Chains A and B, each alone.
Chain A
Amino acid sequence: MGDLAQAQAAVAEAFRSDWGSVVAYLIRVTGNWDLAEECAQEAFERALERWPRDGIPTSPVAWLKTTARNRALDRLRRAAVGKAKLEEIAMTAPAARGHGEDDSGIEDDRLRLMFTCCHPALPVEAQVALTLRTLAGLTTPEIARAFLVPHETMAKRLTRAKKKIAEARIPYRVPAAHRLQERLRSVLAVIYALFNEGYGASAGDELIRRDLCTEAIRLGLLLAGLMPDEPEALALLSLMLLQDSRRAARIDGDGELVTLEQQDRDLWDAQRIEEACKVLDRAVRQGRPGPYQLQAAIAACHAQAPTAAATDWREIALLYARLSEFAPTPVVSLNRAVAVAMADGPVAGLVLVDELEQTGALSDYYLLPATRADLLRRLRRDGEAAAAYRRALELVQTEPERRFLRRRLSEVSSERSRSSALPGSSPSSTRPS
């Protein structure tokens, strides 16, 4: 690799790993979010010019922070009137905005940024978008694509959120101990949303997506390290590690999703699973279960089964029942029905699916008729199964799932040979992958 290519690679690497730190630092010293983003951007652009010529600095992140800070000072000096003047004074004061610590004792700027981005006074969709923009360094068009909204909508959402932070004065700090618990919930939700964005199967730049998972796990690690007595922070980390351990196995050579029971378990990252289970143990030992802990325990059950057939479905069904106490959502009920069907047979599962159907919840969710269809298929009630598959096909949104349902529909519609339909095969499209 030539010097130029090497330097460019170093800038790209620094962007991935340090963008959030640079922005978070600049927001703390300038108190101005837009200025922070713009100057961080300029610092990376300058790195592209300088590093090929001057060499890669010993500490890229320190170089970037200093450069960005100097850019911000230049700009404020040039604009040195009114608010900008005040910001400049604040920035050059010896204790620039309480250098480092606040009353939480937590020093990491990214965590401070995280708590501010995830402030409950901001709309949830803005919390996630702001975290992606400022911490993960995604551009507004990238975030817009990730959330399937027009670029202008996302731009407005971000602008409005930043305006509210500035003008309603949402503080830039980790909340004090007595506020931490309630505020932690929204931070956990945003980290998990970030992870899922990276893990999700929808199309997109693979590199960006991998980074999102890495960033989410990094934030999860940071959070778990800073809050070792918080079982939900540990549990979220464990959950993300468990899902991430299956990364290599969940997409086949054609780019198709591979369901959990069909995955090649040799491709699972055994070391990661072990690490995740250790983290989960630490959470469990604290004797305070929560929604992330139960989800991680379910994921661990899958991860520890040597084969799909050896999965402890009874335990998983129990865990879903407990999860529904914390998160009484129809999706959790549906997953529980699937687990019960695996543990006690399709009839038991069908009872739960019927109950769920009667509540009218999930009436637009394709997995409800798809699950029903699959249970009926396993009971060899082909006519009813076909009707349910057709209903699911009306509701399904994504192509791979549509292909899967069509395949199943043709199976139950034709004179199927009894040997091809495995009695033990499961409603695989409902399983987490």
Chain B
Amino acid sequence: MRYALLVCFDENTELSEEDLERLEAEFMGFQEEIEARGVLVSRERLRPTSLSTTVRVRDAGLVVADGPFAETKEQIAGFYVIECDDLDDAIEIAARNPGARYGTIEVRPVWEI
């Protein structure tokens, strides 16, 4: 069973150089851990929503606009797709992600094809 772990946190949080380094190390540690467990399917880290562009096609045609789709307090900063037995395992892995301590991890099942 595959789950997406959506790592959400407030991208406007000011982080010191040291904080950033520590965070990077923690995320690296997490990645190594889930690779070693053999549960990682894929992962991406997203750049800030200030670089986002929204695209919609409506009756009037193509609407392209700057910015994220919705203004929210926390943004998706990255995601992992993992493969594990059940929701309890996915929750346990999500809880080990450093993002869980600063923001929120949304655990969402992936459609099985």
Q: Are A168 and B87 in contact (CB under 8 A)?
A: yes
Residues A121 and B86 in contact in the complex (CB < 8 Å), given A168-B109, A169-B1, A169-B109: no
Contact with B along A94-119 (1 / 0, CB 8 A): 00000000000000000000000001
B87 surroundings in chain A (CB, below 8 A): 119, 121, 168-171
Whether the pair A175, B88 counts as a contact (CB closer than 8 A) is: yes
B91, CB-defined interface residue at 8 Å:
yes
What CA separation (Å) do A179 and B91 show in the bound complex? 11
**Chain B residues near A179 (CB, 8 Å)?**
88, 92
List A contacts of B92 (CB < 8 A): 179
A-to-B contact residues, CB < 8 Å: 119, 121, 167-171, 175, 179
Asked if B85 CB lies within 8 Å of chain A CBs, one says yes
A168 CA / B88 CA spacing, docked (Å):
10
Q: Known A-B contacts: A168-B87, A170-B87. Give 16 more (CB < 8 A).
A: A121-B87, A121-B91, A167-B109, A168-B109, A169-B1, A169-B85, A169-B87, A169-B109, A170-B86, A170-B88, A171-B85, A171-B87, A171-B88, A175-B88, A179-B88, A179-B92
Of all chain B residues, which has the CB nearest A178? B92
- C-alpha gap A97/B37 in the complex (Å): 24
How far is the CB of B92 from the nearest CB of chain A, in Å?
Answer: 8
Please name 19 pairs of A and B residues whose Cβ atoms are closer than 8 Å in the assembled complex, sorted by A: A119-B87, A121-B87, A121-B91, A167-B109, A168-B87, A168-B109, A169-B1, A169-B85, A169-B86, A169-B87, A169-B109, A170-B86, A170-B87, A171-B85, A171-B86, A171-B88, A175-B88, A179-B88, A179-B92
* Residue total for B at the interface (Cβ-Cβ under 8 A): 8
CA distance A76 to B68 in the complex (A): 47
- Name B69-113 residues within 8 Å CB distance of A: 85-88, 91-92, 109
B1 partner residues in chain A, CB cutoff 8 A: 169
Contact residues in B for A175 (Cβ distance below 8 Å): 88
Nearest opposing residue in chain B for A170, CB measure: B87
Contacts of B88 in A (CB 8 A): 170-171, 175, 179
Closest residue to B109 on the A side, CB-wise?
A168
Complex CA gap A121/B86 in Å reads: 12
B86 to chain A, nearest CB (A): 4
Contacts of B85 in A (CB 8 A): 169, 171
User: Shortest Cβ distance from B13 into chain A, in angstroms?
Assistant: 27
Q: Tell me the nearest residue of chain B to A167, going by C-beta.
A: B109
A168 to B87, CA, bound (A): 6
- Using CB atoms, name the residue of chain B closest to A171: B86
Q: Separation in Å of the B84 CB from the closest CB of chain A? A: 9
The 7 closest A-B pairs by CB, nearest first: A171-B86, A169-B86, A168-B109, A170-B87, A169-B1, A168-B87, A171-B88
Please measure, in the bound complex, the distance between the C-alpha atom of A167 and the C-alpha atom of B110, giving whole angstroms. Answer: 9
A60 CB, min distance to chain B CBs, angstroms: 33
CB-CB under 8 A from B91, the residues of chain A are: 121
Closest chain A residue, CB of each to CB of B91: A121
